Amino acid sequence: MKKLSSSLITVGLFAIAMGLLETIVVIYLRELYYPEGFSFPVKAMSPHIVSTELLRELATMVMLVTIGIIAGRNSGSRFAWFLFSFAVWDISYYIFLKLLVNWPESLLSWDILFLIPVTWVGPVLAPVINSLTMIVLSVVIIRANKTHTRNLNFREWLLLILGSFIVIYTYIIGYLDFMLQKFSLNELFDGSKMESLISYASTFIPNHFDWYVFSLGLALHLTAIGLYIRRLKPGER
């Protein structure tokens, strides 16, 4: 148990430091593009800056996957450590933004959450809820795998994957509906149209988040966690 606690603290510190670094980069961008404060519609960035942002997000994912591989001893625990580091990183990012620039104004403030493969948007509260759920799942898996392999079964994986698709749908559907009014799906990934895509996307203003559909995805995640915990021995929970 002592070794597990030490690992949680070490990986947690790594993820918090990553969250601070992410915050600092975003503060630089907001000083350049939003000196009056961030809000929608977003300001159009140059294709070069957008491409750089995509690379930064990709590098972030590689770092989080890598720390999961280093910390875990099998596929299940590696996945759990990735989830844990991702969740702590994400929550830390918003905490540092609030401390350093007093944003978001509230947990219902809209934010750009991710850019791959298309732009994700949603109220800050939604990814925070997802991250807290990920922390619960990851810690349970890590505890259950500290001496023996206790992997998720097919039903639990199915619920987690289906729930994740539903949650992602709530993040991207508003942006996709807006962009598909002018571009085809193939054109959204056409590098030669990046400038016109960026220009049109900069007029997008999110105005609705489907909390009911989001809650369905969350319920599937929680069901999977509950089923997994029920299969464990009391000492592994």
Residue 185 has what pLDDT? 94
Q: Is the pTM of this model over 0.75?
A: yes
CA-CA distance, 184 to 227, in Å (whole number)? 41
pLDDT tens for 99-141 read: 999 999 999 999 999 999 999 999 999 999 999 999 999 999 9
What is the average per-residue pLDDT within 193-202? 95
CB 27, CB 101: distance < 8 Å:
yes
Q: Which helix (H) or strand (E) holds 44?
A: none
CA-based nearest residue to 127, from 109, 101, 103, 105: 109
Query: Residue 204's CB: how many other CB atoms inside 10 A?
Result: 17
CA distance between the termini of the chain: 12
Residue 202 has what pLDDT? 95
Residue 236 has what pLDDT? 61
pLDDT at 4 over 90: no
Give the E-state strand segments of 2-102 in sequence order: none
pLDDT tens for 146-164 read: 877 788 999 999 999 999 9
Sketch the domain layout of the chain as residue ranges.
2-236
